[in-house]
Structure formats: structure tokens, C-alpha cells
A and B are shown apart, each in its own frame.
Chain A
């Protein structure tokens, strides 16, 4: 158990320790209000991280998610305000835009054969550039009340984002852990040639993971635009690093093959607990940044020791 799930065990322990320490540091930390609010604030990163887990497990990476989010955010505003489409229609189109962005990444990687890191480094610049060019750096404001409800409202007392995250978490966990398709993604990550020989639908699965990654980024864009009721072309800058931090902190191997949704969820929670708890305890943002870096490295070292991977 420890050997196979050493990383998740270390992580779960760390989350518990962090929760306990932080609740002693600040009386406001372990309150229902704060916890629910944190769920709202982490929704965008979390959604994209769930999709990114699939990408990384398949042996790939998607650096373009932040730019995809920016492009989708801008298009929400431009389609609605400049092109005059009803906002409801726009909300149906935006996920398609995200899908197209993801499929274009997939096309570059699968059809053209570019390494994922390079292809998505290129589209990171391209999608952000399109967002800037299309918007001419203007922001779009003045969204109607009902739209703000998505990002700022609650259902049955819980923030909307918690519901969306809960559903996404279960769906992602079931697909990766229990379905044939999830196992295909893992097999591709272990050894793509072997997956080919085994007759698995390698290209289809790879297209799907990048498409889902783009889709998640577009949903994150809608949530974010609704939460802050404005669109800007620089939205989502640096999102990719937050997302990758959470996923690898969750024990997903950057070389593919290995990774769990529960690990990603724990990684996300740990980062959020640290950010929130340290801030409540009066630690400044730069100090928090250093600590998250240290925790990221130390957790992986500890995981490596428990799984006996360390060279002596």
C-alpha cells in the first residue's frame, strides 16, 4: 500500500497536518464560510487540473490552457457585446471554441507529430495573441445579473462552483480509474508503441484528452468571467503553472502512465489550504510562494523515498 500509493499517503498526511496547523494559526480558518469560499476561489484551477491529469497521464502536457482560457474569455465578451449574440447562445459556443483550441493542439501533436511541450508552447503564444488581437486590448463589461449568478451565486446554500467541481471530480475519477478508456490513457502514457500494438485507439484517446483540456479551460473562462463580471485578454496568465503544480504535487508522473484523480484533488487542496491559511496567519504572498515551492519539492522527495526510488 505504502509502496504503491506512497505519494498519495504522504500528501493526505500533509493536508491533515496543514489543516491542523492552520486552524491553530487563525480562528477564521476552519469555518464553514471560509471553506466554501475557498472552493469557489479554486474552481478554475481545479477544473483545468482535472483535465490536465488526463493529459499528463497520457504522457503529454498542455501549456496552452491559460491562453485558451484568455481567448475563450475574450470571445465571450466579443461575441456578446460586439457581435450582438444573445449571451445564452454565446455560452453554448464558448465550450466549442475551447474544444477547437484543444483539438488544434491534438492535431499539432498527433498529426504533425510535434512534441506536446513545443506544440503547446507555440499555441500558448498563439492563443494569447489571438485574444489580444481580437479584443484590441479592450475589456468587455456590464454583464447581466443572471450571468453573474453562475460565478457569484449559490445553489442550496453551496457556491455554484462547489457543485460543478463535485460533479467534475466524480466524472473524472470514474473515467480515469474505472473505465476502459481511462486505462487506455494510462497505457498510452506507459508506452505509446505498446498501446499501438495492443490495438488500443491511441490517436482517438490522445485527441480526446487535448480536446477535454481545451473544454475545461473554456468552462473555467466562463466561471471566471462570471465571477469577476468583466473580460480581459490577460485572463488566465500563468494558469498553466498553477495547474501543473497541483497535478504533479498530486503524484501524477510527468512522464505519463501514473496518476490518480484523488491525488490531483489532494494536491489542489494542499495548495489552496497553504495559500489561504498562510494568508490568514499573516504571511505575505512572496513568503507563501517560497513555501509552496518548498512543499512541492519536499513532498516529491518524500514520495520518492517511500517508494524506494532514490539512488544511494
Chain B
């Protein structure tokens, strides 16, 4: 009986929180509510330096692309972008390899192996910005060009980072669209992957800050975890609908898995038009729900362009045409991209998919 009580006590000791948002608690920088643009402060180049700078100029490059994990649609499409970009360049061969689960240790080991095998360049999307840094610094020291995309590492551990959408920009875009659907005093809940995923935690923090500044009357009901699993996402979204009933005006999906699953949950609950679903999602997954008018809009960047820009930036860094101090980067078909925050190449504002344009995209 004694041990039974011990375990009970342990269970009760776990504090219940009034509200948990899943944000990462780091400082935020919400954009102004009215949509006026802020010019980012000019920051000196803060990226790392590669050993034997310039020794690879004009030479063919063997590059490895290491996303957070392989086997999900999101990184499948970014890998295709990388391959297309490499093909357009002509003198870059690229292979995509990654852990089968978003695991920091596996990703580090993999990068370490590729350093040993003597590649010329590494493209990465970090599972953890700090954990990945030592191995990337080792790559730079070995004369390997390093460029990140999607999820950054510590700036000095890579040369450039292709930022598909700035955190506060994504946050503003999502909350603004949410407000359009549920009104400035509506209430909403969030379905995310896990609280430890850095990008999601960052977006949520920024969303919280922006919502409090610009739509203080909105109610943030709660955030639930749903891994990267569509059935679980669907079940969690449905449970939220069941729990709050008409008190829930909107659901925000933080992953390309969660958003279509939330849309499906709203559809199956027969609440199309009453409960707003918005979130990050690939256009293909959202087409049925946009077509049935159950979902008005979804947000994402062009993952293919992100991959292509990353490989082009790596080529340019190796050639010396992209160097510290540059304020823009000529990315061929993708146009001229702005460089900000020291060493980030900005892909621009995220794309908002609506019934008007969603059929123009295929990924």
C-alpha cells in the first residue's frame, strides 16, 4: 500500500497549469499590427568562415543534403528543390540523406560520416541549433562549405542560412488570417508536433506575442501535441472540438501534418464554415478542403525554392561570389533575394494559399 501511495503522491505533485502554449519562452519581436514594414537593423556578417576559402571556386562540388528527417512530404519536396537547383547549376552533384526519425544524435553522426567521406559541401536543416553546431564547425574547419535551410544552427557554425520565412512574419500571417475567420475576440486552440521542436516552439511564442499585442481580446484555449502523425493529429483536433463545442472558433495547425488533419476533423464534425482552420500546410494536402470551401487559406513557403536557393548559395559561397557583407543574393530563376540579420538569405513573405491560387501549386 505504501508504494501505491507514493505513486499517487507523485501523480498529484505534477502541477496543473492554467495555460500552456508550447512556446519556447525566448524573447519575441512581434511585427506591428497595421502591416507597416520594419527595415531590419543592419547586422554585420555573423556566419562562420570556411578553411581554405576560395580553393573550390569553379570546381565541381560533391554536396550532401541532410534534412531533419527523411520520409516526410515536406523534406521530400525540399530535396527535390535541392536536386533541381543542382541540376540547373550543372557542376554540383547532390545526394539527400537523413535520419529516419527527427533525432539529433543520428543527424550529428550522419554529418560526421559525410565529413570523413570528404564531401565539398553540406546543406542541413537542424534538429537542434546548438547540438548540431560542433559538428558543423568541424566541417567548416575541414574546408567544407556549409549552408543551412529551414531550421538554423548557431550562426558561426555555418556560412549562410536560407530563411524560408521569418518567425514573426509567419506568426503575423497566421494570426491575421485567424482573426479574419474568428474575429478579433474569437477563441482558438493549437495543434503542434512536439513542444521540443524548435521551429514550432518559436512560431508559437511569436504568435502569442503578436496576438497579445494586436488582438488582445482573443482567447488562446490550449495547445496539444500530435507528433508528426496524421491520425493522432486528427484525434487531437476532434477532441478539442468535442471539448469546447461552440466555444472553439478556430484551430491552428503548426505542421504540414496537423493542418490537413484538423481540416478533416472539422469536416467530419460537420462544422465547416463555423470552425475556422488555418495553419502551415502544403497546397496539395489542402486542395480538397479549400475546394469544399471548408478551409479559406493555408500558409507555407515554396519548399522547392528553399532547397534550390540553399544549393545555389552553397555554390556561390564556394565560388566567392557570395561573401560576407553582401546585402542581396542573385538566385537565378528565384530572383534577387535579400540578406538580413547578418547571414540569413530571406526567401520572402510566405505564400498564402487560397481558392484563387492553390491550384497553381503542386507540392
A284 / chain B contacts, CB cutoff of 8 Å: 70, 95, 97
User: Which residues of chain B are within 8 angstroms of A26 by Cβ–Cβ distance?
Assistant: 117
A148 to B, closest residue via Cβ: B134
In the assembled complex, B14 has its CB within 8 A of some CB on chain A: yes
Bound complex: CA of A37 vs CA of B114, how far in Å?
12
Tell me, yes or no, whether B270 is within 8 Å of chain A by CB. no
B3 and A107: CB pair below 8 A?
yes
Q: Does A137 contact B (CB under 8 A)?
A: yes
Assess whether B128 is in contact with A232, with CB atoms less than 8 Å apart. Answer: yes
Q: Do A286 and B70 have beta carbons less than 8 Å apart? A: yes
A10 to B201, CA, bound (A): 48
> Are B97 and A230 in contact (CB-based, < 8 A)?
no
Distance between Cα atoms of A111 and B1 in the complex (Å): 12
Report A-chain residues with C-beta under 8 Å of the C-beta of B25.
136, 138
Interface residues of A in 245-285 (CB under 8 A from B): 275-276, 279-280, 282, 284-285
Neighbouring A residues of B130 by C-beta, 8 Å: 139, 141, 228-230
* A279–B98 alpha-carbon span in the complex (Å): 10
A144 at the interface (CB under 8 A from B): no
- Decide: B113 and A137 in contact? CB cutoff 8 A: no
CB of A192 within 8 A of chain B? no
A104-148 toward B: CB 8 Å interface, digit per residue (1/0)? 000100011000000000000000000011001111010000001
- Residue B195 interfacial (CB < 8 Å): yes
Bound CA span A107–B70, Å:
40
Q: Is the CB of A137 within 8 A of B22?
A: yes
**Across the interface, do A152 and B70 meet the contact criterion of CB distance under 8 Å?**
no
- What's the tally of chain B residues with a CB closer than 8 Å to chain A? 37
Is the C-beta of A68 less than 8 angstroms from some C-beta in chain B?
no
Which residues from B are CB-within-8-Å of A228? 104-105, 108, 128, 130-132, 134
Kindly list chain B residues whose C-beta atoms are within 8 Å of the C-beta of A33.
116
Which of B95, B109, B116, B196 sits near A232, CB closer than 8 Å? B196
- Does B106 touch A at the CB level, under 8 Å? yes
Residues of B within 8 A of A138 (CB): 24-25
Q: Which of A155-163, A211-219, A234-242 contacts B (4 or more CB under 8 A)?
A: A234-242
Chain B proximity of A282: nearest CB distance (Å)? 7
Using a Cβ–Cβ cut-off of 8 Å, how many residues does chain A contribute to the interface with B?
40
A164 at the binding interface (Cβ < 8 Å)? no
Interface string of B7-44 (1 = CB under 8 A from A): 00000001000001010110000000000000000000
Contacting residue for A285 out of B20, B97, B104, CB 8 A = B97
A5 at the interface (CB under 8 A from B): no
Q: Is B171 an interface residue (CB 8 A)?
A: no
Q: Which residues of chain A from 24 to 39 have a CB within 8 Å of any chain B CB?
A: 26, 28, 31, 33-34, 37
Q: Which A residues touch B178, using CB under 8 A? A: none
Query: Residue A296 at the B interface, CB < 8 A?
Result: no
Contact check: which of A229, A233, A238 meets B101 at CB < 8 Å? A238
Chain B residues whose C-beta falls within 8 Å of the C-beta of A28 in the assembled complex:
116-118
CB distance from A210 to the nearest CB of B (A): 16
Is B194 located at the chain interface by the 8 A CB criterion? yes
> Given A107-B3, A137-B195, A279-B114, does the pair A285, B134 have CB atoms closer than 8 Å?
no
Q: Please, which residues of chain A bring their CB within 8 A of the CB of B71?
A: 286
- Complex formed: what's the CA distance from A26 to B117 in Å? 8
The 3 A-B residue pairs whose C-beta atoms are closest, nearest first, are A137-B195, A228-B131, A230-B130
- Besides the known contacts A37-B116, A232-B128, 8 further A-B residue pairs in the complex with CB atoms under 8 A apart: A28-B117, A228-B105, A228-B131, A230-B130, A234-B196, A276-B116, A280-B116, A286-B70
A-B contact pairs, 6 of them (CB 8 A): A132-B195, A228-B128, A229-B133, A230-B130, A275-B113, A286-B70
Residues of chain B at the chain A interface (Cβ within 8 Å): 3, 14, 20, 22, 24-25, 70-71, 95, 97-101, 103-106, 108-110, 112-114, 116-118, 128, 130-134, 194-196, 201
